[in-house]
Amino acid sequence: MKIAVLSRKSSLYSTRRLIEAARERGHEAQVINHAKCYMALEGTNPHIYVGDHMIEDLDAIIPRIGASITFYGSSIIRQFEMQNVFTTLSSLALMRSRDKLRSLQILTRAGIETPRTAFAKYPGDIKNLIKLIGGAPLVIKLLESTQGKGVVLAETQKAAQSVIEAFYGLEANIIVQEFIKEARAEDIRAFVVDGKVVGAMKRTGQKGEFRSNLHKGGVAQAVKLTRLEASRAVKAAKALNLNIAGVDMLRSDRGPLVIEVNSSPGLEGIEKATGNNIAGEIIQYIERNINQSGRKHKDKVGV
């Protein structure tokens, strides 16, 4: 098969591992910088170019789309979908997962437990917003933040009001969530591939830091999930139509709570913590979903 990883940097750990895993299994693999691609719509023939070179004859793509280029990246994926190229991440699923409010609404509709969350646009609703999630301490999140950026812990009512007012003053879209104290600055990431958990790690934040993201200095170690945690991770990925996902959960007094589902989860932390060949699992997933007659595309194109 001919497989392309859509990535802006070929030197990134996740990109390198996916290329290595594909070649180890006998496939042709290349990196395509989706930020440098452009699209042409000509009648019934949707084309994708890098410079004057037309990209063609691909069997599958593995999108690694950064948050800053979500809209354009989803457009590139959609163009490949129109060519009937198999993708591990659909354009529609990418857009849904990157919108924190929308993804939480989808998870809630699917009956998946999440932290209590409130959202409002009108600045006059701040006190009611705080009251809805049980008061301070609470967590305030930008709707399109990643890697722990744009996430603030407000420990008092006064601090919460000040931070929310500041975000409203910048016309930023935010959600307010309850703070799960018993999680003790730890969360769990379950890595789901094709409806199965293929690795899980516990991430612990630095002393004095409530965020456990590895990019914020958190440390990771392999963890054994409970049956409920594993099933909840799989259900969350399925609800968002993600065949590859990093499902982040908090261990609370009322069970595992899903806080986020990442559509382009990094491989470095999970592979190093668990020793599992996650990249190889992804390539095998592609192999299972491309039949002998050519390409098979399971998801509907989200135009």
For range 150-160, the mean pLDDT: 90
| Dihedral, 251, 139, 220, 68 alpha carbons, nearest 10 | 130
Lowest-pLDDT range, 100-109, 145-154, 204-213?
204-213
Query: Residue 147 — pLDDT band, cuts 50, 70, 90?
Result: low
What are the backbone dihedrals phi and psi of residue 298, each rounded to the nearest 5 degrees, phi first? -85, -30
Lowest-pLDDT range, 26-40, 60-74, 95-109, 196-210?
196-210
This prediction has a pTM of 0.88
Helices 278-288 and 13-24, packing angle to 10 deg: 50
* pLDDT confidence of residue 293: 40
* pLDDT confidence of residue 125: 77
CATH for 96-113+182-263 is 3.30.470.20
For range 201-214, the mean pLDDT: 69
Spatial CA neighbour of 183 closest among 117, 253, 233, 230? 253
Q: Domains of the chain: which residue ranges?
A: 2-89, 96-113+182-263, 117-179
* pLDDT confidence of residue 162: 92
- Among the four given CATH numbers 3.10.20.30, 3.50.50.60, 3.30.300.180, 3.40.50.20, the one describing domain 2-89: 3.40.50.20
pLDDT in tens, 166-202: 988 888 888 999 999 998 889 999 999 999 999 999 9
Q: Residue 201: helix, strand or coil by DSSP?
A: strand
* pLDDT confidence of residue 213: 57
CATH for 117-179 is 3.30.1490.20
Is residue 221 within 8 A of residue 248, CB to CB? The reply is no
pLDDT in tens, 80-125: 999 999 999 999 999 999 988 999 999 999 999 999 999 987 767 7
